[in-house]
Amino acid sequence: MLTRTSLRDLADRHGLTPSRALGQNFVVDPNTVRRIARIADVGPGDHVLEIGTGLGALTLALVETGASVTTVETDRQLIPALDEVLAGVDVRLVVADARNVDWDELLTGPGRWVLVANLPYNVATPLLLDLLDEVPAIVRMLVMVQLEVAERLAAEPGDRAFGLPSLKVRQWAEAEIVGRVSAEVFSPRPRVESALLAIGRREHPRVDDNVDESFDLARAAFGQRRKMLRRSLAGSVSADAFARAGVDPTARPEQLDVADWSRLARAAAG
Protein backbone atom coordinates (compact mmCIF):
# COMPACT_ATOMS: atom_id res chain seq x y z
CA MET A 1 0.00 0.00 0.00
CA LEU A 2 1.31 3.47 -0.89
CA THR A 3 2.20 5.88 1.92
CA ARG A 4 2.74 9.64 1.91
CA THR A 5 6.50 9.11 1.65
CA SER A 6 6.33 6.52 -1.13
CA LEU A 7 3.89 8.65 -3.12
CA ARG A 8 6.18 11.67 -2.78
CA ASP A 9 9.13 9.57 -3.93
CA LEU A 10 7.10 8.23 -6.84
CA ALA A 11 6.12 11.74 -7.94
CA ASP A 12 9.70 12.97 -7.62
CA ARG A 13 11.11 10.10 -9.68
CA HIS A 14 8.68 10.80 -12.48
CA GLY A 15 8.79 14.60 -12.22
CA LEU A 16 5.10 14.87 -11.41
CA THR A 17 3.21 17.78 -9.88
CA PRO A 18 -0.57 17.82 -9.39
CA SER A 19 -2.43 19.70 -12.13
CA ARG A 20 -4.65 22.54 -10.98
CA ALA A 21 -6.36 22.54 -14.36
CA LEU A 22 -7.41 18.93 -13.80
CA GLY A 23 -8.35 19.54 -10.17
CA GLN A 24 -5.84 16.95 -8.93
CA ASN A 25 -5.53 16.37 -5.18
CA PHE A 26 -3.94 12.99 -4.54
CA VAL A 27 -4.91 10.96 -1.46
CA VAL A 28 -1.71 10.09 0.39
CA ASP A 29 -3.07 8.31 3.47
CA PRO A 30 -3.42 4.48 3.37
CA ASN A 31 -6.04 4.46 6.14
CA THR A 32 -8.27 6.80 4.14
CA VAL A 33 -8.27 4.73 0.96
CA ARG A 34 -8.89 1.53 2.93
CA ARG A 35 -11.77 3.29 4.71
CA ILE A 36 -13.28 4.28 1.36
CA ALA A 37 -12.97 0.73 0.04
CA ARG A 38 -14.59 -0.61 3.22
CA ILE A 39 -17.53 1.82 3.06
CA ALA A 40 -17.97 1.01 -0.64
CA ASP A 41 -18.73 -2.58 0.48
CA VAL A 42 -17.22 -4.23 -2.59
CA GLY A 43 -15.43 -7.53 -2.87
CA PRO A 44 -15.04 -10.66 -4.99
CA GLY A 45 -17.59 -10.79 -7.79
CA ASP A 46 -18.12 -7.01 -7.87
CA HIS A 47 -17.23 -4.84 -10.86
CA VAL A 48 -15.74 -1.54 -9.70
CA LEU A 49 -15.20 1.54 -11.82
CA GLU A 50 -12.77 4.18 -10.58
CA ILE A 51 -12.59 7.56 -12.30
CA GLY A 52 -9.44 9.55 -11.67
CA THR A 53 -6.73 7.00 -10.92
CA GLY A 54 -4.27 9.64 -9.74
CA LEU A 55 -1.19 7.84 -8.41
CA GLY A 56 -3.10 4.63 -7.72
CA ALA A 57 -3.55 4.70 -3.93
CA LEU A 58 -7.32 4.11 -3.98
CA THR A 59 -6.92 1.71 -6.90
CA LEU A 60 -4.71 -0.58 -4.81
CA ALA A 61 -7.14 -0.44 -1.88
CA LEU A 62 -10.00 -1.45 -4.18
CA VAL A 63 -7.97 -4.32 -5.66
CA GLU A 64 -7.26 -5.54 -2.09
CA THR A 65 -10.99 -6.17 -1.64
CA GLY A 66 -10.93 -8.80 -4.38
CA ALA A 67 -13.21 -6.82 -6.67
CA SER A 68 -12.60 -6.56 -10.41
CA VAL A 69 -11.36 -3.00 -10.94
CA THR A 70 -11.39 -0.82 -14.05
CA THR A 71 -9.80 2.59 -13.52
CA VAL A 72 -9.95 5.57 -15.89
CA GLU A 73 -7.29 8.30 -15.95
CA THR A 74 -7.17 11.24 -18.35
CA ASP A 75 -3.71 12.62 -17.45
CA ARG A 76 -1.18 10.87 -19.68
CA GLN A 77 1.71 12.29 -17.65
CA LEU A 78 0.71 9.96 -14.80
CA ILE A 79 0.80 6.78 -16.86
CA PRO A 80 4.53 5.90 -16.43
CA ALA A 81 4.13 6.22 -12.65
CA LEU A 82 0.92 4.19 -12.73
CA ASP A 83 2.60 1.49 -14.80
CA GLU A 84 5.12 1.21 -11.97
CA VAL A 85 2.52 1.23 -9.17
CA LEU A 86 0.17 -1.21 -10.86
CA ALA A 87 2.82 -3.60 -12.20
CA GLY A 88 1.68 -7.14 -11.48
CA VAL A 89 -1.67 -5.93 -10.14
CA ASP A 90 -4.86 -7.35 -11.63
CA VAL A 91 -6.50 -4.09 -12.74
CA ARG A 92 -7.59 -2.62 -16.07
CA LEU A 93 -6.19 0.89 -16.63
CA VAL A 94 -7.96 2.93 -19.30
CA VAL A 95 -6.39 6.19 -20.48
CA ALA A 96 -9.32 8.40 -21.40
CA ASP A 97 -11.35 11.43 -20.43
CA ALA A 98 -14.37 10.14 -18.50
CA ARG A 99 -16.49 12.89 -20.02
CA ASN A 100 -16.03 11.37 -23.48
CA VAL A 101 -15.97 7.63 -22.78
CA ASP A 102 -18.26 5.17 -24.56
CA TRP A 103 -19.59 3.57 -21.39
CA ASP A 104 -21.48 0.83 -23.22
CA GLU A 105 -18.20 -0.31 -24.70
CA LEU A 106 -16.18 0.05 -21.49
CA LEU A 107 -18.58 -1.49 -18.96
CA THR A 108 -18.93 -4.84 -20.65
CA GLY A 109 -19.70 -8.26 -19.26
CA PRO A 110 -22.37 -9.56 -16.90
CA GLY A 111 -23.13 -7.95 -13.59
CA ARG A 112 -23.68 -4.44 -12.36
CA TRP A 113 -21.07 -1.81 -11.63
CA VAL A 114 -20.11 0.25 -8.59
CA LEU A 115 -18.38 3.60 -9.02
CA VAL A 116 -15.78 4.36 -6.33
CA ALA A 117 -13.76 7.49 -6.95
CA ASN A 118 -11.96 10.58 -5.68
CA LEU A 119 -13.50 12.94 -8.23
CA PRO A 120 -11.85 16.19 -9.30
CA TYR A 121 -13.93 18.99 -7.84
CA ASN A 122 -14.27 20.84 -11.13
CA VAL A 123 -16.07 17.99 -12.94
CA ALA A 124 -17.79 16.08 -10.15
CA THR A 125 -21.35 17.41 -10.47
CA PRO A 126 -21.82 17.23 -14.27
CA LEU A 127 -20.05 13.87 -14.44
CA LEU A 128 -22.20 12.27 -11.73
CA LEU A 129 -25.41 13.62 -13.25
CA ASP A 130 -24.42 12.31 -16.68
CA LEU A 131 -23.65 8.87 -15.25
CA LEU A 132 -27.01 8.74 -13.48
CA ASP A 133 -28.82 9.84 -16.60
CA GLU A 134 -26.98 7.78 -19.21
CA VAL A 135 -25.23 4.78 -17.59
CA PRO A 136 -27.76 2.47 -15.87
CA ALA A 137 -25.09 -0.24 -15.57
CA ILE A 138 -23.71 1.73 -12.60
CA VAL A 139 -26.09 0.95 -9.75
CA ARG A 140 -24.13 2.34 -6.79
CA MET A 141 -21.61 5.11 -6.27
CA LEU A 142 -19.32 6.14 -3.45
CA VAL A 143 -17.48 9.30 -4.38
CA MET A 144 -15.24 11.71 -2.55
CA VAL A 145 -16.20 15.26 -3.49
CA GLN A 146 -16.16 18.77 -2.07
CA LEU A 147 -18.44 18.95 0.98
CA GLU A 148 -20.54 21.69 -0.60
CA VAL A 149 -21.09 19.53 -3.68
CA ALA A 150 -22.05 16.54 -1.54
CA GLU A 151 -24.53 18.64 0.44
CA ARG A 152 -26.10 19.93 -2.75
CA LEU A 153 -26.41 16.52 -4.39
CA ALA A 154 -27.83 14.89 -1.23
CA ALA A 155 -30.24 17.75 -0.43
CA GLU A 156 -33.97 17.13 -0.17
CA PRO A 157 -36.85 19.47 -1.06
CA GLY A 158 -37.02 22.30 1.44
CA ASP A 159 -33.29 22.24 2.22
CA ARG A 160 -31.36 25.43 1.55
CA ALA A 161 -28.89 23.51 -0.60
CA PHE A 162 -31.63 21.99 -2.77
CA GLY A 163 -31.27 22.94 -6.42
CA LEU A 164 -31.47 21.57 -9.93
CA PRO A 165 -28.60 19.06 -9.36
CA SER A 166 -30.38 17.78 -6.22
CA LEU A 167 -33.58 17.40 -8.22
CA LYS A 168 -31.82 15.42 -10.94
CA VAL A 169 -30.23 13.09 -8.39
CA ARG A 170 -33.65 12.46 -6.83
CA GLN A 171 -35.08 11.50 -10.22
CA TRP A 172 -32.71 8.56 -10.48
CA ALA A 173 -31.35 7.77 -7.04
CA GLU A 174 -31.10 8.20 -3.29
CA ALA A 175 -28.06 10.08 -1.98
CA GLU A 176 -26.53 10.37 1.48
CA ILE A 177 -23.36 11.85 2.97
CA VAL A 178 -21.69 8.96 4.79
CA GLY A 179 -18.46 10.55 6.01
CA ARG A 180 -16.09 13.50 6.08
CA VAL A 181 -12.50 13.49 4.85
CA SER A 182 -9.77 15.66 6.35
CA ALA A 183 -7.81 17.97 4.07
CA GLU A 184 -4.67 16.55 5.70
CA VAL A 185 -4.89 13.31 3.69
CA PHE A 186 -4.46 15.08 0.34
CA SER A 187 -1.45 16.36 -1.55
CA PRO A 188 -1.65 19.21 -2.25
CA ARG A 189 -3.94 20.10 0.64
CA PRO A 190 -7.22 21.52 -0.73
CA ARG A 191 -8.72 24.71 0.67
CA VAL A 192 -12.15 23.09 0.94
CA GLU A 193 -13.63 20.30 3.03
CA SER A 194 -14.37 16.95 1.45
CA ALA A 195 -17.06 14.35 2.03
CA LEU A 196 -17.98 10.83 1.01
CA LEU A 197 -21.26 10.72 -0.89
CA ALA A 198 -23.13 7.43 -1.36
CA ILE A 199 -25.60 7.27 -4.24
CA GLY A 200 -27.86 4.30 -4.87
CA ARG A 201 -29.79 4.06 -8.12
CA ARG A 202 -33.52 3.55 -7.70
CA GLU A 203 -35.07 0.49 -9.32
CA HIS A 204 -37.41 2.87 -11.12
CA PRO A 205 -37.07 6.63 -11.67
CA ARG A 206 -39.42 8.82 -9.68
CA VAL A 207 -41.05 10.13 -12.88
CA ASP A 208 -41.49 8.05 -16.03
CA ASP A 209 -42.72 10.65 -18.51
CA ASN A 210 -42.25 14.34 -19.46
CA VAL A 211 -38.87 14.34 -17.70
CA ASP A 212 -37.23 16.82 -20.09
CA GLU A 213 -40.15 19.23 -19.85
CA SER A 214 -40.12 19.00 -16.05
CA PHE A 215 -36.44 19.85 -15.80
CA ASP A 216 -36.73 22.65 -18.36
CA LEU A 217 -39.39 24.24 -16.18
CA ALA A 218 -37.36 23.67 -13.00
CA ARG A 219 -34.25 25.15 -14.64
CA ALA A 220 -36.15 28.33 -15.45
CA ALA A 221 -37.41 28.62 -11.87
CA PHE A 222 -34.05 27.88 -10.23
CA GLY A 223 -32.53 30.57 -12.42
CA GLN A 224 -34.54 33.00 -10.27
CA ARG A 225 -34.71 30.91 -7.12
CA ARG A 226 -35.47 33.82 -4.76
CA LYS A 227 -38.71 34.54 -6.57
CA MET A 228 -42.05 32.84 -6.03
CA LEU A 229 -42.97 30.44 -8.80
CA ARG A 230 -45.78 32.63 -10.08
CA ARG A 231 -43.16 35.30 -10.83
CA SER A 232 -40.25 33.19 -12.04
CA LEU A 233 -42.56 31.15 -14.30
CA ALA A 234 -44.79 34.02 -15.45
CA GLY A 235 -45.61 33.49 -19.10
CA SER A 236 -44.95 29.75 -18.87
CA VAL A 237 -47.42 28.61 -16.21
CA SER A 238 -50.86 30.13 -15.75
CA ALA A 239 -52.78 30.40 -12.48
CA ASP A 240 -55.10 27.66 -13.73
CA ALA A 241 -52.13 25.39 -14.44
CA PHE A 242 -50.82 25.87 -10.91
CA ALA A 243 -54.26 24.94 -9.59
CA ARG A 244 -54.57 21.85 -11.80
CA ALA A 245 -51.12 20.67 -10.74
CA GLY A 246 -51.85 21.25 -7.06
CA VAL A 247 -48.74 23.43 -6.74
CA ASP A 248 -48.70 26.58 -4.62
CA PRO A 249 -47.79 29.52 -6.90
CA THR A 250 -46.21 31.33 -3.94
CA ALA A 251 -43.74 28.48 -3.33
CA ARG A 252 -40.01 28.74 -4.12
CA PRO A 253 -38.44 26.20 -6.50
CA GLU A 254 -36.51 24.40 -3.73
CA GLN A 255 -39.80 23.36 -2.14
CA LEU A 256 -40.91 21.16 -5.07
CA ASP A 257 -39.92 17.55 -5.64
CA VAL A 258 -39.65 15.69 -8.95
CA ALA A 259 -43.31 14.65 -9.04
CA ASP A 260 -44.42 18.24 -8.39
CA TRP A 261 -42.44 19.50 -11.37
CA SER A 262 -43.85 16.72 -13.53
CA ARG A 263 -47.43 17.66 -12.68
CA LEU A 264 -46.71 21.33 -13.20
CA ALA A 265 -45.11 20.74 -16.60
CA ARG A 266 -48.04 18.57 -17.66
CA ALA A 267 -50.56 21.19 -16.52
CA ALA A 268 -48.61 23.99 -18.24
CA ALA A 269 -48.65 22.04 -21.50
CA GLY A 270 -52.46 21.99 -21.31
Query: pLDDT-derived band of residue 31, with 50, 70 and 90 as boundaries?
Result: very high
Whether 23 has a pLDDT exceeding 90, the answer reads no
Residue 249 region, left (φ>0) first, then alpha (ψ -120 to 50), else beta?
Answer: alpha
Highest mean pLDDT: which range of 7-21, 99-113, 222-236? 222-236
> CATH number of 211-268: 1.10.8.100, 3.40.50.920, 3.40.50.2000, 3.30.565.10?
1.10.8.100
Q: How far is CA 34 from CA 2, 62, 151, 183, in A?
A: 11, 8, 23, 17
More confident residue, 8 or 105: 105
Residue ranges of the domains in the chain? 4-201, 211-268
263, 245 in Cβ contact below 8 A?
A: yes
More confident residue, 249 or 23: 249
Q: Output the DSSP codes for 17-56.
A: ---TTTT--EE--HHHHHHHHHHHT--TT-EEEEE--TTS
Query: pLDDT-derived band of residue 16, with 50, 70 and 90 as boundaries?
Result: confident
21, 77 in Cβ contact below 8 A?
A: no
Q: How far is CA 21 from CA 25, 91, 120, in A?
A: 11, 27, 10
CA 116 to chain centre: 10
Q: Give the SS3 label for residue 96.
A: coil
Determine the pLDDT at residue 52: 94
How far apart, in whole angstroms, are the C-alpha atoms of residue 68 and residue 89? 11
Name the least confident of 18-27, 227-236, 240-249.
18-27
Using CB atoms within 10 Å of the CB of residue 178, give its burial: 0 to 12 exposed, 13 to 18 middle, 19+ buried.
middle
53, 77 in Cβ contact below 8 A?
A: no
Fold exhibited by the domain 4-201: Rossmann fold (3.40.50)
How far apart, in whole angstroms, are the C-alpha atoms of residue 160 and residue 175? 16
Whether 204 has a pLDDT exceeding 80, the answer reads yes
Determine the pLDDT at residue 12: 81
